[in-house]
């Protein structure tokens, strides 16, 4: 029911002993389902707001194997809105960026306070363009940054080559805000440093939610009765009966090289670590990590909201290799050591989901690829909202546009496949 495998950023970390699965009957004021960045933020904030109350946090998988730990590790502060700049959308642009920045600020504080290592690197993010469509998009992006008075540096092909060590990109921008993380280390660290009134249960999928007072969550070997429930299950909310035909999963894949030798590393640019986001919506996401690996992600498809099989992943890795060689022809001999896939929650119109779904059930999710910072903000705001709070952050999250309707299967499969394939149209050298 909940697809998982051993691949991903967790492979790069030492082994970790999972928390026990939930067994028996439990009665608590609060339950949170989903221990990715949104659920962890919700549980942490609930614990702060209600220090004398117990919170149960449930995850269907082992920590570090869900979607949050399978991202490329970009904590975005400034969103890219594709297409020509629209002056009338400036309030909406500002609202989304306030949410992003709030999440980034929260994460920075939490990581520093807890003192765990997630390779936090806050030196901004690179937005890159290699082909005609993305170079045109770079112009739109620059106008947006200038008009919104966001700190940035336009970069030429020579600038990008000197910094990133690749001659592929013809134009780009360095946005000063934003951070890079090792996403599995981030999720593990946040999970292992939860407040004492939060109890985490791993490998504990919810089979059914029975509404009532209290709500009853039914699991294989037990149940949880809770006064209020916060769902942080992203695209998997559909499995629990929420947001059907409003939220779907897009499956992405990428590869890591081995750790570069001193000689291989010396042939790259001036930076010891960086992350690049393509200005084409179907372009590759590329990182040089702190531990000297190059990470490249450049496929996205509709796969029934499931991870790729070993056979599928091996085929996609050939696509990763082609993109890697275009960017780093001097490293053509460098092998890939790991490959992974992950699922992001997407809506047809790129909106997010936040608020009350039914009596005493609250949900946040659907980040369309920006979940690390935005999910942290949404999870924090959801805990405050469910507790009766009021804030600018809650208002910003509530202002998310309604999600467009997604047709049922088999039209869902056809429509989702078409929409995701359309992202790659004219990607060219950016893929």
- Give the sign of the dihedral formed by CA 61, CA 219, CA 374, CA 284: positive
Whole-number Å distance between alpha carbons of 79 and 373: 11
Whole-number Å distance between alpha carbons of 141 and 144: 5
Q: What is the pTM of this model?
A: 0.94
Domains observed in the chain: 9-69+185-247+351-405 (3.50.50.60), 112-182+248-348+420-430 (3.30.9.10)
CB contact at 8 A, 291 and 130: no
Closest CA to 80 of 251, 212, 277: 277
Whole-number Å distance between alpha carbons of 133 and 156: 16
Pairing of strands 222-231, 24-33: parallel
Give pLDDT tens digits along the chain (431 positions). Answer: 577 787 889 999 999 999 999 999 999 999 999 999 999 999 999 999 999 999 999 999 999 999 999 999 999 999 999 998 999 999 999 999 999 999 999 999 999 999 999 999 999 999 999 999 999 999 999 999 999 999 999 999 999 999 999 999 999 999 999 999 999 999 999 999 999 999 999 999 999 999 999 999 999 999 999 999 999 998 888 888 887 767 888 899 999 999 999 999 998 999 999 999 999 988 999 999 999 999 999 998 888 889 999 999 999 999 999 999 999 999 999 999 999 999 988 877 778 889 999 999 999 988 877 889 999 999 999 999 999 999 999 999 999 887 776 666 665 565 556 555 555 566 578 88
């Amino acid at each position: 029911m909940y697809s998982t495998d051993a691949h991903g950023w967790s492979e790069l970390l030492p082994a970790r002993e999972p928390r026990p699965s939930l067994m028996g009957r439990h009665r608590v004021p609060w339950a949170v389902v989903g221990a990715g960045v949104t659920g962890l933020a919700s549980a942490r904030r609930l614990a702060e707001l209600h220090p004398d109350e117990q919170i149960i946090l449930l995850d269907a998988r082992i920590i570090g194997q869900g979607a949050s730990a399978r991202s490329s590790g970009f904590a975005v502060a400034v969103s890219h809105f594709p297409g020509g700049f629209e002056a009338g959308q400036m309030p909406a642009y500002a609202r989304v960026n306030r949410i992003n920045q709030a999440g980034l600020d929260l994460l920075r504080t939490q990581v520093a306070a807890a003192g765990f290592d997630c390779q936090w690197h806050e030196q901004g993010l690179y937005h890159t363009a290699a082909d005609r469509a993305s170079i045109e998009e770079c112009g739109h992006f620059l106008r947006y940054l200038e008009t919104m008075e966001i700190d940035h540096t336009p970069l030429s092909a020579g600038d990008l080559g000197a910094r990133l060590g690749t001659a592929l990109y013809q134009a780009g921008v360095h946005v000063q805000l934003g951070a890079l993380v090792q996403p599995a280390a981030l999720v593990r660290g946040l999970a292992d440093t939860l407040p004492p009134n939060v109890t985490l249960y791993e490998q504990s999928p919810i089979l059914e939610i029975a509404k009532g007072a209290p709500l009853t969550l039914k699991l294989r070997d037990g149940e949880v009765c809770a006064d209020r429930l916060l769902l942080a299950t992203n695209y998997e909310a559909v499995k629990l009966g929420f947001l059907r035909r409003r939220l779907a999963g897009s499956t992405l894949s990428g590869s890591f090289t081995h750790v570069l030798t001193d000689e291989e590393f010396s042939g790259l640019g001036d930076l010891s670590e960086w992350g690049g986001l393509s200005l084409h919506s179907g372009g590759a996401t590329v990182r040089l990590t702190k531990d000297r690996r190059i990470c490249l992600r450049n496929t996205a498809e509709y796969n029934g909201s499931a991870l790729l099989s070993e056979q599928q992943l091996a085929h996609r890795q050939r696509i990763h290799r082609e993109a890697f060689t275009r960017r780093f022809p001097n490293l053509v001999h460098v092998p890939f050591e790991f490959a992974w896939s992950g699922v992001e929650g997407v809506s047809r119109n790129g909106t997010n989901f936040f608020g009350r779904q039914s009596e005493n059930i609250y949900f946040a999710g659907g980040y369309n690829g920006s979940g690390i910072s935005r999910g942290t903000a949404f999870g924090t705001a959801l805990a405050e909202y469910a507790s009766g709070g009021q804030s600018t952050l809650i208002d910003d999250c509530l202002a998310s546009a309604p999600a467009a309707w997604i047709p049922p299967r088999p039209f869902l499969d056809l429509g989702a496949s078409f929409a995701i394939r359309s992202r790659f149209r004219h990607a060219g050298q950016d893929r």
